[in-house]
Chain A
């Protein structure tokens, strides 16, 4: 693959060795798990593992990022695009603490990741040795599981457990910390990697009863105004087709959370829009008129529910969820169905009657027409002199036929991409939805393109976010990953500015940004780029970007003070959305 290290010159085949160090055991474990890509950054306490990696270069592609946070987001992008576990290497101390944001991000968004981090030798633990940090404690709140290995013979079992935990049940990040002496030490036993398929006290998939399934079916069969709320769990379970089958059989409209986007084509007649603070008008308002909500793999985030005191009090709630701690955490479920979304949907649909809810769908259409008139038309075809974010997304959508994988950062541009990109393919919108991590998109796009090289991957990034992980342009250039980057540059921290504009009397407190020319910056990194300022330049620039077989960046100067509408203000109910 492009950018790999030169092949080792004198390395014997690792598998031919009769002995094996802890570091080699890490690499053999990764190979046994089928890992083909690692995002990482070396340092003192992980040098034995990097030395072992040198011998495995022909089997595993290591991408040297420019900051460990970038490695975690790249691994997230890789995992979400490929469906595999993302793998990260980092050293001890600051290398490991730099992972924290990405770990928290992966935990919030249920992304499978295994991070192997170095640690000082076990004899130095607790001595404030150079680059020693108590990573096990630091990581406890931001990982699904973590474990410190101090014995080389423990490596294989710890790695097998790590991969099982990361990918099973509700996926999440795992940290395996290996002390330097354990990396150097030779195994006393022969290396043996046995994949883990179960653990004594961990239920990867809690069960649901036939009785609950029948209760859900009865509710749905009696419903006159049902609404499906499709979340992240649909895509994670690969349940897109099962969701569509249920929706089409029962004629039930489908609304998506931010993470649920693209699990159904936006052009499908049953798709009624995005839920949440900047989602679509109709599904938000009609959540409070539905008689049955079928929530699938979503966790009733506060950005989706608005004021809980006024959220769907009239509705019976069926909640399909794999994590028991999510049930009744925010919204009480009348019928909880614990388990994998695909399994449950495939068993639920045969119990449902064929139906159509024509009048109910007309109500969505009426409200949608209001949003079209008051918001969308003006946003997509603006009369303003300067370019706007929605029209850039519109042109991008037209030129990619809605088939690109869009990786969005966090802020106004994230919402504009979510609202206006016409998703036609599954697994096409990845963003930092839970933690809201600015700087996510550039490294995540690098990882996504590595994990799904056949997809057109376009990162949509704001000027604030871009400068948080801008150094990963060097990684993209070095490994020649043909990621396309669209910076929607309004010289503001746009979402914060919008809130200051609407709710803080226009007192703009530290949101104005004087930026360098990102196109010139990009070219300095070795990535072709264009600065786009005029409307007539936009289609040609996007076309040039998409036709490029190399990474390409557009620095698009957009309207400085554009607001995202509709909007559900803090404290408002879902039916209290503002159209303007």
Chain B
């Protein structure tokens, strides 16, 4: 199980852009939590999925490619 912490701008449609990346990589999300304005006016999206660390590391740069994503990391290394 891997948990990703994704910091995004708090805008309409950003969650959909984020989940599209998981869909494309055929990742089934088991837990999803979104908290608006969690930090510096950013939303924090926590996503857990039963995937390998390798796949998580492949997904992260694709998440970062989303314009509204400020950062994305595996939970253990999240420090933003």
Contact = CB atoms under 8 A, between A and B. Distances in A.
Contact of A148 (B12, B61, B65): B12
A201 B20 contact: no
Interface residues on B, range: 10 to 19
Interface in A143-197: 144-146, 148, 165
A202 B71 CA distance: 10
A329 interface: yes
Contacts of B13: 136-137, 140, 146, 148
B58 A329 contact: yes
Contacts of A165: 67
A283 B17 CA distance: 39
Given A324-B61, A325-B61, A329-B58, A201 B16 contact: no
A323 interface: yes
Interface residues of A, number: 18
Contacts of A201: 9, 67-71
B65 A323 contact: yes
Nearest to B7: A201
Given A148-B12, A201-B9, A140 B68 contact: no
A6 interface: no
A140 B70 contact: no
Contacts of B17: 140
Nearest to A165: B67
Given A201-B9, A324-B61, A329-B58, A140 B16 contact: yes
Contact of B24 (A137, A141, A327): A141
A405 B60 CA distance: 38
A325 B65 CA distance: 7
Contact of B67 (A137, A141, A145, A329): A145
Interface of B: 9, 12-13, 16-17, 20, 24, 58, 61-62, 64-65, 67-71
Given A140-B13, A148-B12, 9 more contacts: A136-B13, A140-B20, A146-B13, A148-B13, A200-B9, A201-B69, A325-B61, A329-B58, A329-B61
**5 A-B pairs with least C-beta separation:** A325-B61, A201-B70, A145-B67, A324-B61, A325-B62
